[in-house]
Structure 1
Amino acid sequence: MAKMNDKVALITGGASGIGLSTANLMAKEGAKVVIADFNVDGAKAAAEQINAQGGEAVGVFLDAGSEASIKEAVEFTVQQYGKITTLFNNVGLTNLKKDLDVVNVDLDEWDRLMNVNLKSVLLGSRFAIPHMIQAGGGSIINTASMAGFASDAIRVAYGASKAGVVNLTKYIATQYGKNNIRCNAVAPGLILTPAAKNNMSAELLDMFAKYNALPYHGEPEDIGYTVLFLASDEAKFITGQTIQVEGGHYLANPTVPDFQQLMKMAQQ
């Protein structure tokens, strides 16, 4: 039996990267999928591809910075398929030019990232939960980030917003668990999405690889499979958790790679 039979999933930010991978995996496992994205043409194209492969999906527009747009996406899902059982809050923004350190961060950008990265998770859940209760339960999965656990030289707004996602996940799980609603999050490290490949130099990717415990970077499917598991009944006793999918990048004392190199040089 497919893992997502009889489930209806709304995936925000589903036109590319992690969202697209998750949409494909859920559809293959029997879910009816609504792909919501600001890039509505990309969302519709993704849905068409799923349908061509025997799945069932539809693409719709979503502005994750708009309360009305988020509500419309949830209501559309229920109208289209009769219910919503799965919500993947996956939209997230970052801005390396404006989201700097505490002293220099652009305050308008701070507000924008808090609205899109954190408030959209609250609103998506707010509008979906009553329908999930009516359906007998559901699963909410939120995209957090390792930036919510480890600080950086820049991106203070992004990191703070993702830390908020981690804690909001716990609140949702606590407040609606008795309604048979689970809420978990996934915290990706560096994942080779199209955006990452297009915006990160080979030198920068090599620098990240140096500190991974594993000898490779993550792919969108690595997050997609984790989300699929959390959405499925296989994870029915897991709630309020944030699973870190980051290749061991944040696992060890940060001096380990340099120490290993030093030991190799000493043995020569």
Structure 2
Amino acid sequence: MRPGWAVGRAERSLLVESEIRAAGLDLTANDADISSLDPDVLLETFRANLVGMFLVTKHGLPTMLDQGAGSIVNMASVSGMAGESSLSAYGMSKASVIHFTKQVAVQYGKQGIRCNAIAPAFVNTRNNKQYASQEFADVYLRHMVSTSGAEPQNIADVVVFLSSDEAALVNGHVIPVDGGITEVSPIVADVRELGGHTA
């Protein structure tokens, strides 16, 4: 095991806090294309986004199994659902979160545990407002089919639903909260700017 990957009890609480803060597209400095990606950035990104989530789940499962019920909601991203021109480490880590979610659902669903993931696009979090340019945010909004981008409350509302009895039969799914960005043709934004469909 690589030094630094073993996480103690004190660090676990920090990992829980970091997962809560990570809702939305939390940009990682130096997360570039594959050929120039620093392996340490890749490892640290997986450590934050996947290993932290794994540890929180691993240590929460015994209590849920004892009570015969539980709902786990993981934070994925649309970056984990399709390839991108950058954010390589981030996207790969979030793709792993999606598969991890399905593994937990399959392995523990019959024991009363549900595990789902939310995949936001750009969310107006404090981190994004601080580190992402408005031009970057506008790129996401341009390709959405919604009238506005996501606020943290939009993500929280879906977490509440997935954690509730109303979602009792929702298990192993990835729910995009992305303004429809993953469900449209790549040329929709361009066609829209041309004034609609052309002959």
User: Which TM bucket (shorter chain)?
Assistant: 0.7 to 0.9
Could you say which residue in structure 2 is the equivalent of 1:95?
28
Counterpart CA distance in 1 for 2:91 and 2:154 is 21
Counterpart CA distance in 2 for 1:89 and 1:194 is 14
Could you say which residue in structure 1 is the equivalent of 2:110?
178
Q: Contact 1:89/1:141 (CA < 8 Å) preserved in 2?
A: no
Could you say which residue in structure 2 is the equivalent of 1:41?
none
Could you say which residue in structure 2 is the equivalent of 1:59?
none
* CA positional deviation for 1:107: 0.5
* CA positional deviation for 1:172: 0.3
Of 98, 101, 105, the residue aligned with 1:169 is 101
* CA positional deviation for 1:71: 7.8
| Cα shift readout 1:53-94 (whole Å, capped 9, x = no counterpart) | xxxxxxxxxxxx762137864xxxxxxxxxxxxxx9546464
1:197 maps to 2:137: no
Could you say which residue in structure 2 is the equivalent of 1:67?
7
Could you say which residue in structure 1 is the equivalent of 2:66?
134
Residues 95 and 126 from structure 1, CA distance in 2 versus in 1: closer, same or farther, beyond 3 angstroms? same
Counterpart CA distance in 2 for 1:210 and 1:260 is 10
Alignment-mate amino acid for residue 95 of structure 1:
T
TM (norm. structure 2) is 0.85
Tell me whether 196-205 or 218-227 shows the greater mean CA deviation.
196-205
Residues 113 and 91 from structure 1, CA distance in 2 versus in 1: closer, same or farther, beyond 3 angstroms? farther
Equivalent residue of 2:74, what SS? strand
1:159 maps to 2:99: no
Residues 71 and 175 from structure 1, CA distance in 2 versus in 1: closer, same or farther, beyond 3 angstroms? farther
* CA positional deviation for 1:214: 0.8
TM (norm. structure 1) is 0.65
1:239 maps to 2:171: yes
* CA positional deviation for 1:206: 2.4
Alignment-mate amino acid for residue 68 of structure 1:
G
Alignment-mate amino acid for residue 110 of structure 2:
K
Q: Contact 1:148/1:161 (CA < 8 Å) preserved in 2?
A: yes
Alignment-mate amino acid for residue 64 of structure 2:
M
Q: Which has the higher helix share?
A: 2
Instruction: Using CA pairs under 8 Å that are at least 6 residues apart, name the structure with larger relative contact order, 1 or 2.
Output: 2
Counterpart CA distance in 2 for 1:260 and 1:133 is 50
Equivalent residue of 2:166, what SS? helix
List runs of 5+ in structure 2 lacking aligned partners: none
Q: Contact 1:137/1:180 (CA < 8 Å) preserved in 2?
A: yes
1:230 maps to 2:170: no
- What is the number of residues matched between the two proteins? 188
| Cα shift readout 1:191-242 (whole Å, capped 9, x = no counterpart) | 1111112222333322322111011111001100000111111111111001
Q: Which has the higher strand share?
A: 1
Residues 201-212 of structure 1 aligned to structure 2 (within 5 Å): 201-212=133-144
Equivalent residue of 1:95, what SS? coil
Q: Contact 1:71/1:124 (CA < 8 Å) preserved in 2?
A: no
Counterpart CA distance in 1 for 2:10 and 2:143 is 38
